[in-house]
Amino acid sequence: MMGGMVHSEEKDQGPAEKVVCINRVSKVGKGGRRFSFNALAVVGDRAGSVAAGLGKANEMPDAVRKAIDSAHKNIITVNITKKGRLPHNVSGKFKASRVILRPASPGTGLIADEAVRSVLEQVGVNDVLTKVIGSKNKLNVVRAALDALTKLETPIQASRKRNIPVSRIFS
């Protein structure tokens, strides 16, 4: 995958998985340092569904597998347009991280931090501008991006929530 572009053959393969980061952590005990790993993975179908999972294990492959399994259990559906764009500006927050997502004109691509980019690629969004404010901790940034995506609503949902016709939303 070059330059963040999603190739058509990748869209047809069902759920896609991406490991965002792998951290080696150590615990000092009686016999010296004991190392273990934690992994953060994002899965999605590139058509509006996405999830993130965290896995911890003594071996790296086990941590990655646990992260992917955890993500598959928490899949959410996101309201994006048929052309793979965001319907409106939105921001999400998790702990000290805040992520702002803004739809961009066609052809802009994904202008995003590595962690936010992985979430948006898995959900299937093409043109978006993002900004991460506060903590740059990858786990918190991914969760803030997911929080922002859950706040997206279609014009029909917005009109029902406000008890106004859809035509007034765009005026």
159 phi and psi, to 5 degrees? -65, -40
Q: Which amino acid is it at 36?
A: S
d(Cα 128, Cα 105) in Å, to the nearest integer?
Answer: 8
What pTM, to 2 d.p., does this model score?
A: 0.86
In CATH, what number is assigned to the domain containing residue 23?
3.30.230.10
Is 35 within the bounds of a domain?
A: yes
Give me Rg for the CA atoms of the chain. 18
**pLDDT tens readout for residues 57-98:** 999 999 999 999 999 999 999 999 888 899 999 999 999 999
| Position 3 in a domain | no
pLDDT (tens digit, 9 = 90+) per residue, 9-29? 444 456 799 999 999 999 999
Q: What's the domain count of the chain?
A: 1
HSE-up of 41 (CA within 13 Å, CB side)?
29
Domain with 19, as residue range(s), is: 8-169
Per-residue burial over 96-127, b if 16 or more Cβ lie within 10 Å, else e, is ebbbbbebbeeeeebebbebbbbbbbbbbbbb
Which residues, in sequence order, are CB contacts of 54 under 8 Å at separation 6+? 38, 39, 40, 67, 70, 139
Dihedral over alpha carbons 43, 45, 48, 51 (to 10 degrees): -10
